[in-house]
A and B are shown apart, each in its own frame.
Chain A
Amino acid sequence: MNTMFFIMTVASLVLLVVVSPDSAFSIMISGASGAIALAVKLCAIYAIWLSVLDIMQKVGMNKALDKLFSPLTRKLFKGEDEKTRQYITLNFSANLLGMGSAATPLGIKAMEGMQDGSDRATDNMILFMVINATSIQLLPATIIGLRASYGSASASDIILPSLLATLVSTVCGVILAKAFSLPSKRKEKKSLTVPEPLKGAKLK
């Protein structure tokens, strides 16, 4: 991430110094103000969804939802506990319905549940990120609305190709993530031969 950030900013700034040096600083400021505007919007959305989530957890609705989806989430995310699985399920449900910003706080909580304390992402965390990053939205409502506002005669004819394209990318992502996780699984099996007390010490 550091390397990429460095390359992107330095290359852009060098280009700006050549093309229009006056605007360099104002572009950086506008990026930061964009972040603040986005943060205010996100804070409002998170406040509502985290409140609804809090009620759902106290009522026990999460458990019902987990029971419904656990055959799938148990298989995809082996070894995660019930609470993490609930967050995963809720995150996927919000994503399917196209509520990306409602899905984010749930996704962050799921990630916190999946970390193993080290600075390396676990295979399950990566799989979870890949599924989120390849989009599992059923109905691209924003885009359809935007297209209609620009005078499209049949704005919703992108639903089927979008669904297929997102299906291809998600399936491809899951397969690749599972394939990449194989070598590290083998390592895990080897580490099982390490004497028990040593393993305990390693976890600390």
Chain B
Amino acid sequence: MKYILPVFVIVVLIAGFVKKVGVYDSFVEGSRQSVKLLLEIFPFICAVLIAVELFSLSGLNAYFSRFLAPLFNLLGIPTELCELVVIRPLSGNGSIAILENIYKTYGADSYIARCGSVIVGASETVFYIATVYFSTTKVKKLRYAIPVSLFSCYLGAVVACLLCRFI
């Protein structure tokens, strides 16, 4: 696994050299595009992260999770994991922090920790993807994109909790 990345880059570089592509020019061009792209997506990242930081550090996340806990329990998601499930689609760093906390509290091999690992490992930061991926397009109306993504991710979480009981 660890050889894939460097070997891939070497293959691309050699292929470029053989086909007489200016490899240095390509890196200059790539870096220029990177800065341009970042200037375009940064405002979106910044706005989202301010809201997420407020949501998790104000403690609203904890209240919200407690409020939703009975519903999650009904679906087979343990109360201890509610906060993680709520923050997962909002913030990647936030969910890693909560997961680390779970490892510390319950032990890395407990059922709760295994469930949490699968939930984080098998989903993505839905809102981050929604803002960044559409950021350079004119699209304002995402229609059914977020409901479908969220529903599917939550279904994944329910399945994760179920699977961890058996596997």
Contacts and interface: CB of A to CB of B under 8 A. Distances in A.
Interface stretch (B27-35, B68-76, B77-85): B27-35
25 contacts: A8-B60, A16-B54, A35-B46, A38-B45, A46-B38, A58-B16, A107-B129, A111-B136, A115-B138, A118-B138, A129-B134, A129-B145, A130-B152, A132-B133, A133-B124, A133-B130, A150-B104, A151-B107, A152-B113, A158-B114, A165-B159, A166-B122, A172-B152, A173-B152, A176-B148
Nearest first, the 8 A-B pairs at minimum CB distance are A51-B30, A140-B121, A31-B53, A169-B156, A173-B152, A152-B108, A133-B149, A50-B30
Contacts of A119: 138-141
A35 B42 contact: yes
B7 interface: no
A119 B138 CA distance: 5
A128 B9 CA distance: 26
Given A135-B153, A162-B121, 13 more contacts: A24-B58, A31-B50, A35-B49, A39-B42, A47-B35, A48-B30, A61-B12, A111-B137, A134-B123, A139-B1, A140-B122, A165-B163, A176-B151
Contacts of B131: 1
Contact of B15 (A55, A111, A150): A55
B49 A32 contact: yes
A120 B137 CA distance: 10
Contact of A150 (B51, B100, B123, B151): B100
Contacts of A165: 118-119, 122-123, 156-157, 159-160, 163
Q: B interface, by DSSP: helix, strand, loop or mixed?
A: helix
Interface residues on B, range: 35 or more
Nearest to A19: B59
Contacts of B140: 119-120
Contacts of B132: 104, 108
A165 B145 CA distance: 20
A138 to B, nearest CB: 10
Interface of A: 1, 5, 8-9, 11-13, 15-16, 19, 23-24, 27-28, 30-32, 34-36, 38-39, 42-43, 46-56, 58-61, 97, 99-100, 104-105, 107-108, 111-112, 115, 117-121, 125-126, 128-130, 132-135, 137, 139-144, 146-147, 150-155, 157-158, 160-166, 168-170, 172-173, 176-177, 180
A155 B114 CA distance: 9
B129 A143 contact: no
Contacts of B60: 8, 11-12, 15
B124 A51 contact: no
Contacts of B4: 97
Given A5-B47, A162-B121, A125 B59 contact: no
B153 A133 contact: yes
A58 B26 contact: yes
A159 to B, nearest CB: 8
Nearest to B52: A31
Interface centre among A27, A58, A105 (most CB of B within 10 A): A58
Contacts of B58: 12-13, 15-16, 19, 24, 27
Contact of A164 (B104, B109, B114, B159): B159
Contacts of A118: 138-139
A6 to B, nearest CB: 9
A12 B54 contact: yes
Contacts of A60: 19
